[in-house]
Amino acid sequence: MDKRLVISLVVVLFVLNSYSQKFDLGKVSLAELQEKEHPKDPSAAAAILFEKGTVRINYDQTDGFTMNTEVKVRVKIYKKEGYDWATKSLTYYLPSAQRETVRFDDAVTYNLVNGEIIKTKLKSDGEFDEQVNRYWGQRKITMPAVKEGSVIEYSYNIKSQRFDQIREWNFQREIPVNYSEYRTFVPEYFFYNPIHKGFISPKLTQGETTRTVVFTGKSSPMTNHVIQTRFTQDQITYSEKQATYQAQDLPAMKAERFVNNIDNYTASVRFELSMIRFPQSPAKTFSTDWASLTKTIYDYDDFGPELAKTGYFEKEIDQVLSTESAQNARLAAVFNYVKNHMTWNKYYGYGCNDGVKKAFKDKTGNMGEINLMLTAMLRYAGFNANPVLISTRANGIAMFPNTTAFNAVIAAVETDKGMVLLDATEKYSIPNTLPLRDLNWFGRLIRKDGTSTQIDLMESSPSREVSFLLYSIKPDGAIEGKVRNQLSEHHALDFRERYVGQNTDAYLESIEGRTNMEINDYERENELDLGKPLVEKYSFKDAKATEVINGKLYVSPLLFLADTENPFKQEKREYPVDFGYPTQSKYSVTIEIPEGYAVESMPKPLVLSTGDDVGMFKYNIGQTGNKIQVNVTTDINTAIVPADYYETIKAFYQKMVEQQAEKIVLVKA
């Protein structure tokens, strides 16, 4: 053996042994229990003291090659807000050919009581197992006796015969991580491509060693009419590739506003299978490009064949289309029929769970069933409709071809005027206004022949909010006025998702509690007329919006419409600003000043621009007689702003907030 390889292996083994001695379960220290806050992040609600994972692909005579993942974790709880870290859930694959098994062990909560370390072991009533759908199950534990100051630890093991990828390992979390270690042991027959993510690079040590597997055979030959059992042994020797990733003192991933999915930027590594090559066998390669992957998905029994089924809906769709002749009306009629007939069960997926026929009969289904059904109905109605595979925001950005890159599907219709995107799982959506969860960079449209093309899911035209505010200021500072808000596109969709169907009194109470207003005469228009902007109107009184100091009245002209704080607080940011979609807000405010008062001072007009056509803020103000007119327009013209633009966008918002905070000052004439 090469001397350099021997030296490398000695170094690897020394490092691994030293760390395994330093971080192990069952040895919680008094210092760990006494620690009141994280030494490098006092705001942290919890911290991972260590997390160690090992993945081995082993061979045994019964099961062949099996992937075993073993993880050991210790967590410190500092505050009540950190109690969520005392619950751990794992998903596992159910189909028998590649079924996975999950087992939790060594689950213990440690507390310090009167100077004594008290151990509470997890009992069976703290462990739960459920079937999510026909493909996936979930096993979960909730640790016992957790309180502020607790230290919890547990291990888990996942046994799998799914080799398409090695589970992703996150070095960073939403809380600080003191130490993270990940080791992989892969036989020479399996070829994986490591995929790294995030802005922190763990230390990587690699090596290679030799493994020997012994096979025991049994035969029972007959000699002189006597059966004699004989045992034989054989063996196979192969090389094993080893990789160890180590990182320590990792800061918490703290999400700001306008972050797509913080996991997209978390330091992590995962491995995608590219090839399996056994001795004396041809190499088997796996999908390495989007075209191959999407064709593979289209051929799945629960995808492409489901699109070919039409008999279960033909009578109903014929009736729906009987009164419609215009293409736009026919498309809308089919889309609305599916939205009204079906209820989404909140499960994602691009394939069908029970199939489109059963889902149609039961009037409920997962995302795949509902939108594949929609696609089939649109094709039946004569449209050039196809499914579009997407990865929702919660699933992360689909950056590399793999069956797990996508977790959902929508429908698309190709027309002379462009592509129309549809998602019938959201009852308040309209064509080309998808739920925010779907707006995640790119999707993949698959045609009947299995070919595919990339689809831009991000909006290019702005969603609009227009508000008219008319109010008068009384000599004692009290304010009375009226409001008219008009919301369109995504703003309207968001409002309908949140508030339509909710108790109106509860909605108004939430506004009153947030603004100190008293609201009366509330009306709402176009709640369910989705093709029109949603409008809400009301009158209000506010006794606290104006400050009275030494006979002068001070008021911020936008009142409750003003942005009061900058949403961007980090000094630096290494991931993009994601607004979701372009927006335009227009506020028109008319203020009647009280009789006997005059304007001593008021904000000056202001125009702000980020440059590069990203954002624009216009603030105009003027006085005519006893009325002050304020017009404010804010445009955000792009959905995603690169990270290197962060300081610019942060400064832009800070100046907007400061401008809106400036006050009109009224004095007695």
DSSP state of 259: -
Query: How much is the pLDDT for 528?
Result: 95
**Arithmetic mean of pLDDT, 38-46:** 97
Range of the domain at 416: 290-456
Indicate the SS3 state at residue 424: coil
Cα angle 139, 175, 407; round to 5: 45
Asked if residue 436 and residue 510 are part of one domain, the reply reads no
Asked if residue 485 and residue 425 are part of one domain, the reply reads no
Asked if residue 646 and residue 552 are part of one domain, the reply reads yes
Query: Tokens representing 308?
Result: 């070919």
Residue 5 confidence (pLDDT) above 70: no
* pLDDT band for position 230 (cuts 50, 70, 90): low
Report the C-alpha gap between 134 and 559 in whole angstroms. 53
Asked if residue 79 and residue 11 are part of one domain, the reply reads yes
**Arithmetic mean of pLDDT, 332-358:** 96
Asked if residue 449 and residue 421 are part of one domain, the reply reads yes
Last residue of a domain, one of 438, 456, 474: 456
Asked if residue 140 and residue 171 are part of one domain, the reply reads yes
List, in order, residues 6 or more apart from 424 with CB less than 8 Å away: 335, 338, 339, 342, 370, 371, 373, 374, 411
* pLDDT band for position 98 (cuts 50, 70, 90): confident
**Arithmetic mean of pLDDT, 267-295:** 88
Phi, psi of 542 (to 5 degrees): -145, 115
Query: How much is the pLDDT for 246?
Result: 97
18 vs 273, residue with greater confidence: 273
Asked if residue 324 and residue 278 are part of one domain, the reply reads no
Report the C-alpha gap between 84 and 75 in whole angstroms. 11
Phi, psi of 287 (to 5 degrees): -50, 120
Asked if residue 470 and residue 422 are part of one domain, the reply reads no
Indicate the SS3 state at residue 496: helix
Last residue of a domain, one of 397, 425, 456: 456
Indicate the SS3 state at residue 280: coil
Range with the poorest average pLDDT among 120-124, 219-223, 291-295: 219-223
Asked if residue 247 and residue 218 are part of one domain, the reply reads yes
pTM for the full predicted model = 0.84
Do residues 15 and 204 touch, judged by C-beta distance below 8 A?
no
Residue 6 confidence (pLDDT) above 60: no
Residues in the chain, how many?
669
Asked if residue 120 and residue 38 are part of one domain, the reply reads yes
Residue 15 confidence (pLDDT) above 80: no
Instruction: Supply the angle between the helices 314-321 and 367-380 in degrees, to the nearest 10.
Output: 60
Q: Going along 25-160, which residue ranges are E strands?
A: 46-60, 64-77, 87-93, 101-113, 116-121, 127-131, 136-142, 151-160
CA-wise closest residue to 37 among 29, 28, 46, 48: 46
Rounded-to-5 percentages of helix, strand, coil across the chain: 20, 40, 35
596 vs 96, residue with greater confidence: 596
Do residues 537 and 484 touch, judged by C-beta distance below 8 A?
yes
In sequence order, what are the beta bridge partners of 116?
113
Query: How much is the pLDDT for 368?
Result: 97
Residue 149 confidence (pLDDT) above 60: yes
Do residues 266 and 202 touch, judged by C-beta distance below 8 A?
no
pLDDT tens across 168-215, in order? 999 999 999 999 999 999 999 999 999 899 989 999 999 999 998 887
CA-wise closest residue to 592 among 485, 516, 479: 479
Query: How much is the pLDDT for 2?
Result: 45
Range with the poorest average pLDDT among 116-125, 219-228, 260-269: 219-228
Report the C-alpha gap between 561 and 485 in whole angstroms. 11
DSSP state of 332: H
Asked if residue 78 and residue 59 are part of one domain, the reply reads yes
Query: Strand 597-601 vs strand 64-77: parallel, antiparallel, or unpaired?
Result: unpaired
Q: DSSP string spanning 559-622?
A: GGGS--S-S---S--SS-EE-SS-EEEEEEEEEEPPTTEEEEE-PPPEEEE-STTSEEEEEEEE
Report the C-alpha gap between 665 and 649 in whole angstroms. 30
pLDDT tens across 576-621, in order? 999 999 999 999 999 999 999 999 999 999 999 999 999 999 999 9
Asked if residue 553 and residue 447 are part of one domain, the reply reads no
Last residue of a domain, one of 285, 303, 330: 285
Do residues 169 and 268 touch, judged by C-beta distance below 8 A?
yes
* Burial label, 86 (beta-carbon count in 10 A; 0-12, 13-18, 19+): buried
Q: What is the CATH number of the domain that holds 656?
A: 2.60.120.1130
Query: How much is the pLDDT for 219?
Result: 55
Do residues 481 and 472 touch, judged by C-beta distance below 8 A?
yes
Residue 10 confidence (pLDDT) above 70: no
List, in order, residues 6 or more apart from 321 with CB less than 8 Å away: 330, 333, 334, 381
List, in order, residues 6 or more apart from 460 with CB less than 8 Å away: 582
Query: How much is the pLDDT for 256?
Result: 82
CA contacts within 13 A on the Cβ side of 18: 7
Do residues 531 and 430 touch, judged by C-beta distance below 8 A?
yes
**Arithmetic mean of pLDDT, 130-156:** 94
List, in order, residues 6 or more apart from 82 with CB less than 8 Å away: 44, 45, 46, 175
Q: What is the CATH number of the domain that holds 362?
A: 3.10.620.30
Instruction: Supply the angle between the helices 367-380 and 327-341 in degrees, to the nearest 10.
Output: 150
Query: How much is the pLDDT for 530?
Result: 96
Average of per-residue pLDDT values in the chain: 92
In this structure, which amino acid lies at residue 370? I
Do residues 141 and 154 touch, judged by C-beta distance below 8 A?
yes
Looking at the structure of the chain, the number of domains it has is 3
Indicate the SS3 state at residue 126: helix
**Arithmetic mean of pLDDT, 69-97:** 95
Do residues 353 and 366 touch, judged by C-beta distance below 8 A?
yes
Residue 574 confidence (pLDDT) above 60: yes
Report the C-alpha gap between 314 and 309 in whole angstroms. 10
Q: What is the CATH number of the domain that holds 206?
A: 2.60.40.3140
Do residues 507 and 500 touch, judged by C-beta distance below 8 A?
no
Instruction: Supply the angle between the helices 314-321 and 327-341 in degrees, to the nearest 10.
Output: 130
List, in order, residues 6 or more apart from 48 with CB less than 8 Å away: 73, 74, 75, 76, 173, 175, 176, 177, 178, 180
Report the C-alpha gap between 462 and 14 in whole angstroms. 58
Query: Tokens representing 248?
Result: 């320590």
Report the C-alpha gap between 391 and 290 in whole angstroms. 14
